[in-house]
Structure 1
Amino acid sequence: MAGRPGPRGPLLPALVLVAAALSRPAAPCPFQCYCFGSPRLLLRCAPGAELRQPPRDVPADARNLTIVGANLTVLRAAAFAGGDGEPAGARVRLPLLAALRLTHNNIEVVEDGAFDGLPSLAALDLSHNPLRALGAGAFRGLPALRALRLDHALARGGPALLDALDAALAPLAELRRLGLAGNALRRLPPAALRPPRLEQLDARLNALAGLGPDELRALERDGGLAGPRLLLADNPLRCGCGARPLLAWLRNATGRVPDARRLRCAAPRAMLDRPLLDLDEARLRCAPGDAYGRGEEADVAGPELEASYVFFGLVLALIGLIFLMVLYLNRRGIQRWMRNLREACRDQMEGYHYRYEQDADPRRAPAPAAPAGSRATSPGSGL
């Protein structure tokens, strides 16, 4: 009996582990945020307009942070590393944070060094914010950033914001995915085409009329390496002579443009809604002195309209020839038909003439009918 293990013997290690876990202090979840997982794998903060700056009490072991629907307006330097306006060497408070989502937060200004102190950040989403100003060093503290989304965020900034974006993207050497959809861009920032490891560039829903030779060359990689995938659907492409470089590039790299079959012409009017890949490159001729394709509407529409008119004229000539042949082969019948028609018309006119003479002679006019109710009398009746 003394050597039999007691019933509580196997439970002792488990109780020790539970006690150790309970004794370990856990960092509290920020006010009005939701924390999921242990350690803090995901934090979601959606407090509406009450949150005007990033929460400062985010647990240090957080991996993913999402703030949606706040009113952040301005992201100042080191906003996630200790406070507003801290220098670039601010202390690291979130060393493990890998994903940061800041959509629909009414962010208008992102200052230099706004993301300093996030050395592990690999994915940043600033989509659906009305950005007006972006510091040239806004992303300087993100050496590990691989994915950046700026969809529907740059439309209000104008050309100055586009230039600032070009400077801000320059230091992102590890960037793999870049989202610029829905920003009314008329051209792509040069820095968006240069990251050496870029795998996908999303440029859908913009105002791109096409891509020039310099932009297409920037999409190629030295040493025969495959360039990034490019999404171009829902852009108002101008299918004139200026589209020749893009058309030639697409036919040689169709696999790098997954939505190539969805590319449609928006101008000139004669090419409206035609698939870009169906165009004949040989017909896209530029007028003399029009190297940029500003007058391609006449160049593109002219040959097609000329061919249409020639075809229409040939059809009319063929119909006229057939009609003349029918007339020639039936000339005797037509003459007989014309003679019969002339005689019928003459007989008809003679009948009208005879009746006219009869009606004009008063002696041959018929007696008027007696009124109703009157009695007929003879001449010798004396009445």
Structure 2
Amino acid sequence: MAPRVGQPGLWGPLLPGLLLVAAALSRPASPCPFQCYCFGSPKLLLRCASGAELRQPPRDVPPDARNLTIVGANLTVLRAAAFAGGDADGEEAAAAAVRLPLLTALRLTHNNIEVVEDGAFDGLPSLAALDLSHNPLRALGGGAFRGLPELRSLQLNHALVRGGPALLDALDAALAPLAELQLLGLAGNALSRLPPAALRLPRLEQLDAHLNSLVGLDPDELRALEHDGDRPGPRLLLADNPLRCGCAVRPLLAWLRNATERVPDARRLRCAAPRALLDRPLLGLDETRLRCADGDPNGRRDEVDVPGPELEASYVFFGLVLALIGLIFLMVLYLNRRGIQRWMRNLREACRDQMEGYHYRYEQDADPRRAPAPAAPASSRATSPGSGL
């Protein structure tokens, strides 16, 4: 056994609240080395022990433990009441007493767990966060989580790849009784559909389904994600799924545009098919251009009214030609800059000479001494003395 690494002090009264926060985030309260198991309680901040040869849950965890982390063990099978002393078969498992009544966070990652039997977590009435990620599960009992009335967070990331359709059906049954579940992690499981039971959970706030094999969401799944009265629907993580952006994706696209805040990674969604839309952002598509081929309402043979690769290449070539012409024009201007300057100078001088001529004429016309004498009236010429009349 490793020595204690912390002693209670002024932080003792605050530790239960901190552990509850850690449980809600589904992370261990403190780091635990690989091939070890660690637990914490109000009296003991953290204690770690070697778990390399551990084949069943440890029995030296104190009854007042609030969190337990087991990493790198070889548990393989979690039998009924495995954490309450019921590792044996039959009546002993059924009669196992509650040994860890205050445990709120249980992390069991990288433990080679293949089978989780019915009632594996019986005897943990206060458990709020359970993490079974990175285990090669191939069998899950329909009542595996039946004894967890307070469970808020369940992480099954990279844990359901080997089970196939039968495991997904068992997951549906196992999720059904989790009425208080708020966070569900199903990332990296090659899921081709979302578990229906997960969409029916009344208090679910976030469903992590990124890095799976989802090609889209059907109308039934979208209806299940809608608001239910005053309760908002759950947030959904969908990035890194091979979405097929044919006509069948139009309901999902319309739903995303009306509820973008419900999918935090919506801007990361990319099309994987058809080829004309490969790696296009889903939110950048025009719904009116997504059409199904005649007689194919399922959208397996899509017709997409978008510019093809050849047309896009011609646009690029045309742009390059225009850029080359502009570059040549700028080079000609630069090479003839002196001639252009000389021409501009001559033009400016010619304009100045013309303006000076106009100015000189205006001054001549405005001088009264140079103005011509006005002509005498005809009547005065007729009555003058020298006229001979």
TM-score (norm 2): 0.68
Instruction: Determine if contact 1:40/1:63 at 8 Å carries over to the other structure.
Output: no
Structure 2 Cα separation of the partners of residues 129 and 119 of structure 1? 24
RMSD: 2.1
Equivalent of residue 240 in structure 1, options 219, 238, 246:
246
Deviation at 1:89? 5.5
Equivalent of residue 185 in structure 2, options 170, 179, 187:
179
State the Cα deviation string for residues 191-235 of structure 1 (Å, max 9, x = none): 111111000000011011011110111112321421111000111
Matched ranges for 1:304-323 at <5 A? 304-305=307-308, 308=311
Question: What is the one-letter code of the residue matched to 1:77?
Answer: A
Instruction: Determine if contact 2:38/2:68 at 8 Å carries over to the other structure.
Output: no
Does residue 39 of structure 1 match 2:43?
yes
Query: What is aligned with 1:283?
Result: 289
Question: What is the one-letter code of the residue matched to 2:158?
Answer: H
**Closer, same or farther: CA 117–43 of 1 in aligned 2, 3 Å:** farther
Does residue 79 of structure 1 match 2:82?
yes
Structure 2 Cα separation of the partners of residues 277 and 267 of structure 1? 15
Structure 2 Cα separation of the partners of residues 45 and 211 of structure 1? 45
Structure 1 Cα separation of the partners of residues 152 and 210 of structure 2? 20
Deviation at 1:272? 0.6
Instruction: Determine if contact 1:145/1:172 at 8 Å carries over to the other structure.
Output: yes
Question: What is the one-letter code of the residue matched to 2:146?
Answer: R
Structure 2 Cα separation of the partners of residues 291 and 234 of structure 1? 26
Query: What is aligned with 1:67?
Result: 70
Query: What is aligned with 2:255?
Result: 249
Equivalent of residue 126 in structure 2, options 82, 98, 120:
120
Instruction: Determine if contact 1:67/1:101 at 8 Å carries over to the other structure.
Output: yes
**Closer, same or farther: CA 88–238 of 1 in aligned 2, 3 Å:** farther
Structure 2 Cα separation of the partners of residues 156 and 43 of structure 1? 34
**Closer, same or farther: CA 89–198 of 1 in aligned 2, 3 Å:** farther
Structure 2 Cα separation of the partners of residues 192 and 44 of structure 1? 35
Say which SS state the counterpart of residue 166 (structure 2) adopts.
helix
Query: What is aligned with 1:270?
Result: 276
Aligned length: 277
Unmatched segments (≥5 aa) in structure 2: 1-35, 319-389
Deviation at 1:304? 3.3
TM-score (norm 1): 0.69
State the Cα deviation string for residues 283-304 of structure 1 (Å, max 9, x = none): 11112332211111xx11x553
Structure 2 Cα separation of the partners of residues 136 and 37 of structure 1? 31
Deviation at 1:74? 0.2
Question: What is the one-letter code of the residue matched to 1:182?
Answer: G
State the Cα deviation string for residues 303-356 of structure 1 (Å, max 9, x = none): 5349949x98xx9xxxxxxxxxxxxxxxxxxxxxxxxxxxxxxxxxxxxxxxxx
Does 1 or 2 have the higher relative contact order (CA < 8 Å, sep 6+)?
A: 2
Say which SS state the counterpart of residue 67 (structure 1) adopts.
strand
Unmatched segments (≥5 aa) in structure 1: 1-31, 316-383
Does residue 102 of structure 1 match 2:108?
yes
Query: What is aligned with 2:58?
Result: 55
**Closer, same or farther: CA 95–239 of 1 in aligned 2, 3 Å:** same
Does residue 214 of structure 1 match 2:224?
no
State the Cα deviation string for residues 47-87 of structure 1 (Å, max 9, x = none): 22x00000122110000000000000000000001122344
Instruction: Determine if contact 2:40/2:66 at 8 Å carries over to the other structure.
Output: no
Question: What is the one-letter code of the residue matched to 1:78?
Answer: A
**Closer, same or farther: CA 34–103 of 1 in aligned 2, 3 Å:** closer
Structure 2 Cα separation of the partners of residues 169 and 261 of structure 1? 30
Matched ranges for 1:101-180 at <5 A? 101-180=107-186
Deviation at 1:38? 3.6
Larger radius of gyration: 1
Does residue 258 of structure 1 match 2:261?
no
**Closer, same or farther: CA 120–236 of 1 in aligned 2, 3 Å:** same
Structure 2 Cα separation of the partners of residues 186 and 135 of structure 1? 21
Query: What is aligned with 1:199?
Result: 205
Say which SS state the counterpart of residue 110 (structure 2) adopts.
coil
Instruction: Determine if contact 2:39/2:66 at 8 Å carries over to the other structure.
Output: no
Moved over 2 A (4+): 32-46, 85-90, 302-309
**Closer, same or farther: CA 34–207 of 1 in aligned 2, 3 Å:** closer
Deviation at 1:45? 4.9
